[in-house]
């Protein structure tokens, strides 16, 4: 599962209409293959966003991608952070977009979450498995959804609306890996924290 394959799934969960243009990814330097004595398990570390507005445990340093999107609200930047452990069919992602100030002030957080869910299911052609309303550790409204696309990829996504921003914390995996990584995925999702503005 490469970043290029994931970007359409990521962008599809974005709260807007229109197509996403994907910039070419720079070629990644080849990494040495693990030997029999090297562990394949990733080392989980606390990652703090460059702007300091969220923290989360990630299996290594995530790759960062920025996309500019024209929407009915104006031009919006979508920030994407992706970590993919070696030898596992799973990707751990955090995406966010800031809303224009006027929209962020007027919009109902539950409506934003509902629209984000509809867009995610529609554009990935996925079936909803389960959903529930949640709150972030510091009380921001959120929603957890799990869905399966036609290719069998399972996405578990927690969305939060906090201080003019829509966060999405996702784990995308295969059915086989989903069963073996269920506890790891839950721990990953639980580790996300919105850092309040000072």
> To the nearest whole number, what is the mean pLDDT of the chain?
81
Higher per-residue pLDDT: 198 or 176: 176
Could you tell me which of 71, 97, 74 has the C-alpha nearest to residue 18? 71
Please, which contacts does 17-24 make with residues 24 or more away whose CB atoms are closer than 8 Å?
17/71, 17/72, 17/119, 18/69, 18/70, 18/71, 20/67, 20/69, 20/78, 21/67, 22/67, 23/65, 23/67
CATH number of 3-15+44-74+83-180: 3.40.1000
The predicted pLDDT at position 105 comes to: 62
Q: Span 20-24, mean pLDDT?
A: 30
pTM: 0.79
**What angle (nearest 5°) sits at the alpha carbon of residue 123, between those of residues 73 and 7?**
85
When pLDDT is averaged across residues 191-195 and rounded to a whole number, the result is: 95
Strands of the sheet containing 165-173, edge to edge, are 63-71, 74-83, 90-98, 165-173, 154-162, 141-149, 126-135
The DSSP H or E segment spanning 5 is: helix 3-12
> What per-residue confidence (pLDDT) applies to 81?
98
- Phi and psi at 113, nearest 5°, equal -65, -40
110 pLDDT band (50/70/90 cuts)? very high
Per-residue pLDDT at 112 exceeds 60: yes
43 DSSP assignment? -
Asked if pLDDT for residue 77 goes beyond 80, the answer is yes
Report the alpha-carbon distance of residue 166 to residue 105 in Å, rounded: 13
Domain regions of the chain by residue span:
3-15+44-74+83-180
């Amino acid at each position: 599962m490469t970043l290029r394959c994931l970007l359409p799934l990521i962008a599809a969960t974005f709260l807007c209409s229109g197509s996403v243009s994907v910039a070419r990814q720079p070629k990644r330097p080849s990494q040495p293959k693990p030997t029999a004595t090297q562990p394949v398990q990733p080392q989980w570390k606390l990652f703090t966003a460059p702007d300091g507005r969220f923290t989360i445990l990630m299996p290594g340093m995530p790759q960062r991608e920025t996309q500019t999107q024209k929407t009915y609200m104006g031009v919006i930047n979508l920030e994407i952070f992706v970590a993919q452990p070696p030898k596992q069919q799973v990707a751990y992602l955090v995406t966010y977009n800031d809303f224009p100030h006027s929209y962020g002030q007027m919009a109902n957080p539950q409506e934003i979450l509902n629209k984000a869910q509809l867009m995610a299911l529609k554009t990935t052609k996925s079936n909803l498995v389960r959903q529930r309303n949640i709150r972030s550790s510091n009380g921001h409204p959120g929603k957890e959804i799990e869905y399966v696309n036609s290719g069998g990829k399972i996405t578990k996504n927690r969305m939060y609306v906090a201080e003019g921003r829509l966060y999405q914390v996702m784990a995308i995996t295969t059915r086989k890996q989903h069963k073996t990584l269920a506890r790891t995925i839950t721990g990953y999702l639980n580790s996300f924290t919105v850092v309040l503005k000072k």
